[in-house]
Structure 1
Amino acid sequence: MLKKILLILTIITLVGCKATKPVIVTTKKVALKPKSEVVTTVKKSNVPKSIITKPVKKEPTISETEVIVSTSKTVVTNAVVKGYISQFKEIAMGNMKSFGIPASIILAQGILESGAGVGDLAISANNHFGIKCHEGWTGESVRHDDDSDQECFRKYNNPSESFKDHAIFLTGRSRYSKLFALPKGDYKAWARGLRTAGYATDPKYPDKLIAYIERYNLQQYDREVLDVNYVSNEKQLVAELSIENKNSKGSDSYEVQKGDTLYSISKKFELRIDELKEKNNLSDNSLSIGQRLIIK
């Protein structure tokens, strides 16, 4: 009986040992597989993230500010530039009709040279075109650093005088005469022609003007003038100006108009400024609208 009991216990022990061994092996194998799978999954998830986040491209847009560099460096917002255009576009179109200078060029030069109206010269002297004193200028002036230190620049009573003097400056000098043979709608040719004629020393001057014209669509004001039968009316305009000049020259006196200066009047009637002052007993250069000047 005892032998039977021992035999049964031995058999049970052997069976128990065989049953536990495969369980241990299976457990180890199951534990290893998920470890290798987890590592592989992490590596794959990192690769697309780096590819997606690196190439971030933004569409080019007009910046919120403009850095204008001419006679002074001026930083302005686009709103200031647009306000300047809105304020002076009518004057520019008027000068295009009267003097033949494209309105787009007038406005682009005004923006560049005056810092859209908030540059040093514009504030201190109402000088919107960076016009220096030059020989024959007897009006007021200010000193300002430009190509050289403390150069002489013209000073005006208001911006309108500056716009008018700019037109007189271009039409009254032979070196700019070739400009007026250019098509009035070709702002690129005018921009390059100004640089060639010596208006500015900056080699990038034409590119700057063209950039402002195209960025702010200033050529629309040229089209607006040209679309109102400007070409066909040009001869009539010249004839009217000739008649006006004849009538003025045939008179012994002249009534001062808004925007007139001694310089512009002297040019109009082919007089020297000192001669004009002597005829009218003027002690300074101040004039008043409606004042009558003796011109003969």
Structure 2
Amino acid sequence: MKYLFLTLSIFGWLISSGIEAQSYRKNTTPEYIDQYKDLAVKEMKRVGIPASITMAQGILESGNGNSTLARKSNNHFGIKCHSDWKGKRVYHDDDAKGECFRKYKTVYESYIDHSEFLVGKKRYASLFELKLTDYKGWAKGLKKAGYATDPKYAHSLINIIEKYKLHQLDENKHWKKPASSGSNDNFEIVTFNTHIIEYNNGVKYIAVEEGDSFESVSEEFGLRPWELYHYNDLPKTAKMQDHRYIYIQGKKGKAHKSHASHVVKADEDLHYISQKYGVKMSKLRKFNNLNEGAKVKEGDQLNLRKRKK
């Protein structure tokens, strides 16, 4: 009787396990892309991490969202707790047994935290000097900065990006499945009616396109026209079409450490140099002991990071 009970118990467990396994169907990579691409693009616009990199990391770290960590904790990027984490925790075997990982209420929280994690760590700061379209530089930089221990991590990210053409997301384009496709690996591209955000000296800017105005660009990015004038050291009479690019956030107080000074060339003025290096005009005046309205001339050497003695 004891053996019969044991047999029935095992049989029942196998049936229940089979039902549970059958009720869970694993995502394919194209399905994962289709489901979460908008989150990656949204975060790219918000903080400047290439959507291709975010998607490739999500695919790789979560196994297309199929990992236990992703399904039960909504952690799609394998981010561990670290000492500064105040949220919920879950323990999972990784490089060591019983490691602490972050737990989220939603997948989007995981995407947001992934962005904040990269933005907030000094070791990733140099990545934000790269162009949004430089996915290879980002992949190699993440590995070099210690995001993952796998020696082939950068290679894996690049392979995923190129196989699924994820780099087209960085070009401000979007995916959708074609109506008549017989393959899940085929996609077509639909363009967004928005600008590509680039970074100079860690400051967001856009290339000015035909038809752009201070009103239209400010509306697109949730700003007010006066903010764009202020960010770019421009008078309210300025016309956007007279400029090649426009900053959509305030410029920095000094240039990147690789640019300590600048020798003024013909036809360059202080505003041009301010825009070129992403430094506020008021700071350039202060660094170089220039009064309001003072002009620079060809051959002048301007300090870009500290005041002249």
Provide the TM-score with structure 1 as the length reference. Answer: 0.52
Q: Which position in structure 1 is the counterpart of 2:49?
A: 101
Distance in 2 (CA, whole Å) between partners of 1:239 and 1:195 is: 34
Distance in 2 (CA, whole Å) between partners of 1:135 and 1:151 is: 13
| Deviation per residue, 1:28-48 (Å, 9 max, x gap) | xxxxxxxxxxxxxxxxxxxxx
Answer 1 or 2: which has greater helix percent: 1
| Deviation per residue, 1:144-202 (Å, 9 max, x gap) | 11111110000000101000000000001111100000111010110000001111111
Distance in 2 (CA, whole Å) between partners of 1:191 and 1:146 is: 21
Cα 1:232–1:138, aligned 2, differ >3 Å: closer, same or farther? closer
Cα 1:196–1:239, aligned 2, differ >3 Å: closer, same or farther? farther
Q: Which position in structure 1 is the counterpart of 2:127?
A: 179
Distance in 2 (CA, whole Å) between partners of 1:224 and 1:175 is: 27
| Deviation per residue, 1:205-231 (Å, 9 max, x gap) | 001101111111111111125984324
Q: Indicate whether 1:222 and 2:188 are aligned.
A: no
Q: Indicate whether 1:202 and 2:150 are aligned.
A: yes
- Give 5+ residue unaligned stretches, structure 2: 1-24, 174-190, 206-217, 228-309
Shift of 1:238: 9.1
Distance in 1 (CA, whole Å) between partners of 2:143 and 2:50 is: 15
Residue 230 of structure 1 aligns with an amino acid whose one-letter code is I
| Bigger relative CO (Cα 8 Å, ≥ 6 apart) | 1
| Deviation per residue, 1:100-157 (Å, 9 max, x gap) | 0000000000000011011111012100000000011121111111111110000000
Q: Indicate whether 1:148 and 2:90 are aligned.
A: no
Contact 2:172 2:196 in 1 (8 A): no
Aligned residues: 166
Q: Map 1:64-79 onto structure 2 (within 5 A).
A: none
Provide the TM-score with structure 2 as the length reference. Answer: 0.50
Q: Which position in structure 2 is the counterpart of 1:25?
A: none
Cα 1:93–1:173, aligned 2, differ >3 Å: closer, same or farther? same
Structure 1 vs Structure 2 CA RMSD: 2.6
Q: Indicate whether 1:167 and 2:133 are aligned.
A: no
Give the 3-state SS of the residue equivalent to 1:183 in structure 2.
coil
Q: Indicate whether 1:135 and 2:83 are aligned.
A: yes
Which of the residues 29, 33, 42 maps onto 1:81?
29
Q: Which position in structure 2 is the counterpart of 1:157?
A: 105
Residue 90 of structure 2 aligns with an amino acid whose one-letter code is V
Cα 1:167–1:238, aligned 2, differ >3 Å: closer, same or farther? farther
Cα 1:117–1:239, aligned 2, differ >3 Å: closer, same or farther? same
Larger Rg, first or second structure (1 or 2): 1
Percent identical among aligned pairs is 49
Residue 210 of structure 1 aligns with an amino acid whose one-letter code is I
Over 6 Å off, 4+ runs: 236-239
Residue 229 of structure 1 aligns with an amino acid whose one-letter code is H
- Give 5+ residue unaligned stretches, structure 1: 1-75, 244-296
